């Protein structure tokens, strides 16, 4: 009997289900002691897009980031730029699906965090209706182990608008 959390629902694979645009519902980490934290705050916003031709883009930001005093995107003061980058997570590149392990691999072609460029990162995928949860293997930081989870809701497709 098939359920919404199966990788192949009514003959629809992860590779088919994942394509589209998704809006962030929640980005959290849970420690090995059960403490839940929100790395970009409980009101974080984001989009992740998977294209049918095998590319993805993820953008996540802390809500309420301070605006630059200048209107020039490249001319913020060092503190403004530091705060803006510290409240933002972004990367894009090719992706591939591992149906057998209910996972998707993100290949980091570009990233706001330079250490990720060239990395391949595994995300476990679980679907429940129009909600997709991505998680990774636990991350170990000195004496703490964190399990990240990103919950996304499919965005209703809309027609492409043309300029007037």
pLDDT (tens digit per residue) in 128-163: 999 999 999 998 988 889 999 999 999 988 888 888
pLDDT at 10: 66
* Residue 124 domain boundaries: 14-154
DSSP string, 100-159: GGTEEEEE-SEESSGGGTT-EEEEEEEEETTEEEEE-S-EEETTEEEEEEEEEEEPPP-P
Consecutive sets of 10 residues in the chain, 164 residues long: mean pLDDT of each?
47 93 97 95 98 98 93 87 94 98 98 96 96 95 92 91 85
Whether residue 50 lies inside any domain: the answer is: yes
pTM here is: 0.87
Question: Considering the domain boundaries, does residue 161 fall inside one?
Answer: no
Q: Would you say residue 2 lies in a domain?
A: no
Number of domains the chain contains: 1
Output the domain CATH number for residue 112: 2.40.128.280
């Amino acid at each position: 009997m098939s359920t919404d959390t199966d990788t192949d629902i009514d003959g629809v694979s992860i590779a088919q289900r994942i394509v589209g645009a998704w809006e962030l519902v929640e980005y959290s980490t849970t420690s090995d002691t059960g403490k839940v934290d929100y790395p970009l705050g409980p009101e974080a916003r984001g989009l992740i897009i998977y294209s049918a031709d095998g590319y993805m883009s993820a953008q996540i930001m802390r809500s309420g980031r301070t605006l630059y005093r200048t209107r020039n995107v490249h001319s913020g003061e060092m503190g403004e730029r530091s705060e803006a980058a510290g409240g933002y997570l972004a990367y894009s590149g090719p992706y591939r699906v591992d149906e057998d392990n209910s996972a998707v691999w993100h290949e980091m072609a570009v990233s706001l965090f330079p250490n990720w460029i060239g990395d391949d990162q595994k995300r476990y995928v679980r679907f429940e209706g129009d909600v997709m949860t991505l998680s990774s293997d636990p991350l170990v930081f000195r004496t703490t182990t964190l399990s990240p989870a990103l919950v996304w809701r499919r965005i209703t497709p809309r027609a492409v608008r043309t300029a007037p």
